[in-house]
Amino acid sequence: MTITTYYHPGYAAPIGDHVMPITKFGMVADGLAGNAAVRLAEPEPLTEADLRRVHTSEYIEAVRTGEPRALAESQKMSWSPELFPSVRLTGGGCLAAARRALEDGVSAALVSGFHHAHADHGEGFCTFNSLVVTADVLHAAGAIRRIAVLDMDLHYGNGTASLAPARPYLFNLSIYGNDYDRNQAFRDVSTVRHVDGSNHRSIALPNGSGRAEMLEAMERGLPQILAWGRPDLILYQAGADPYREDPYSPLELDHDDLRERDRRALAWAKEEGIPIAWVLAGGYTKDTSQVVRVHLSTFEAAREVFA
Ligand SMILES: [Zn+2]
């Protein structure tokens, strides 16, 4: 089968020299060229009405205009006039992939899910929370009754968790190797800096965790999603930053381990008969080709699972 994958050159705003390799989205798209299992498509941008379902008018206005600057740059990226159009497009990519997955069973967007973004400010390079905007737009349209986020980025998805309590139709599971709070990552996860709730749960991977610990966490976590209530759609954050060479990662996960993570996540959704759309999430290895390799291997896993 063909995996429709949403990409747009406008995803990348000019953010200067930044730890976040914004060129990676285009590099992944280039890496998919000629892949018969993948069809690249361009999404429509999110509307301001879509954004207002999740974010405050003051924050949206700040990102649009650049003022007040501290709020416009609360996600720790330099503001430019191109920022607002780019984050509307990336959010549109996530929404388009979610809609496509409801039709096809699987889809992807070459965007980040922006799981650190809160209602009234950004954090951790995340401007608007595309995962929750997608959940809200689909729920309001009656396209889904329940939706779950499986977040396997290295970092705890604190923004999504902050937005979950007001949304009984959303479940967030974050399997993380760095805790995250107020724009700060915490490598030592032995102290938990957040509180789980009935529809936002988390599982920490202790420093040094490898494949066995990761798969065990998935085996423990995935049934929690079904126990909460069978979702009509899974949004999967397939982060590249758990990779062992990533500067933030205290985990011992290599390319094969992350490919196995993706295969398990996708195969689980398929076996349960739940559509799944994935996004790329973080990845900061200095050699960006290693980040791109992690993201491309998710497509290999998907091709294997959905062949
Ligand atoms: Zn991350």
Task: Please give the distance, rounded to the nearest whole angstrom, from the Cα atom of residue 11 to the centre of ligand 1.
Answer: 18
Q: Which residue is listed with tokens 């967007």?
A: 109
Task: Please give the distance, rounded to the nearest whole angstrom, from the Cα atom of residue 119 to the centre of ligand 1.
Answer: 19
Q: Per residue in 189-198, pLDDT tens?
A: 999 999 999 9
Quick one: tokens of 106?
Answer: 């699987």
Task: Please give the distance, rounded to the nearest whole angstrom, from the Cα atom of residue 236 to the centre of ligand 1.
Answer: 13
Task: Please give the distance, rounded to the nearest whole angstrom, from the Cα atom of residue 114 to the centre of ligand 1.
Answer: 9
- Non-local CB neighbours of 173 within 8 Å, separated by 6+ positions: 148, 149, 150, 151, 200, 201, 202, 203, 221, 222, 224, 225
Task: Please give the distance, rounded to the nearest whole angstrom, from the Cα atom of residue 249 to the centre of ligand 1.
Answer: 9
pLDDT number for residue 47: 98
- Ranges under pLDDT 50 in the chain: none
- Non-local CB neighbours of 203 within 8 Å, separated by 6+ positions: 173, 174, 175, 176, 217, 220, 221
In the three-class reduction of DSSP (H, G, I as helix; E, B as strand; rest coil), residue 39 is classed as strand
Task: Please give the distance, rounded to the nearest whole angstrom, from the Cα atom of residue 239 to the centre of ligand 1.
Answer: 6
Task: Please give the distance, rounded to the nearest whole angstrom, from the Cα atom of residue 223 to the centre of ligand 1.
Answer: 24
Task: Please give the distance, rounded to the nearest whole angstrom, from the Cα atom of residue 210 to the centre of ligand 1.
Answer: 17
pTM (2 d.p.): 0.97
**Helices marked H in the chain:** 24-32, 48-52, 57-65, 69-72, 83-104, 130-140, 158-163, 211-228, 255-272, 288-306
Residue 2: in which H helix or E strand, if any? none
Task: Please give the distance, rounded to the nearest whole angstrom, from the Cα atom of residue 142 to the centre of ligand 1.
Answer: 31
Task: Please give the distance, rounded to the nearest whole angstrom, from the Cα atom of residue 81 to the centre of ligand 1.
Answer: 25
* Domains defined along the chain, listed by start: 3-306 (3.40.800.20)
Task: Please give the distance, rounded to the nearest whole angstrom, from the Cα atom of residue 179 to the centre of ligand 1.
Answer: 10
What letter does residue 202 receive in the DSSP assignment? Answer: E
Q: How many residues in the chain?
A: 307
d(CA 32, CA 43): 17
pLDDT number for residue 23: 84
Task: Please give the distance, rounded to the nearest whole angstrom, from the Cα atom of residue 64 to the centre of ligand 1.
Answer: 25
Task: Please give the distance, rounded to the nearest whole angstrom, from the Cα atom of residue 99 to the centre of ligand 1.
Answer: 25
Quick one: tokens of 13?
Answer: 């705003």
Task: Please give the distance, rounded to the nearest whole angstrom, from the Cα atom of residue 19 to the centre of ligand 1.
Answer: 12
Long-range contacts of 209-213 (CB under 8 A, 24+ apart): 209/177, 209/251, 209/252, 209/253, 210/251, 210/252, 210/253, 210/257, 211/253, 211/257, 211/260
pLDDT number for residue 14: 67
User: How far, in Å, are 36, 91, 109, 254 from residue 129 at the CA level?
Assistant: 31, 8, 14, 28
Task: Please give the distance, rounded to the nearest whole angstrom, from the Cα atom of residue 178 to the centre of ligand 1.
Answer: 8
Task: Please give the distance, rounded to the nearest whole angstrom, from the Cα atom of residue 125 to the centre of ligand 1.
Answer: 9
Task: Please give the distance, rounded to the nearest whole angstrom, from the Cα atom of residue 240 to the centre of ligand 1.
Answer: 8
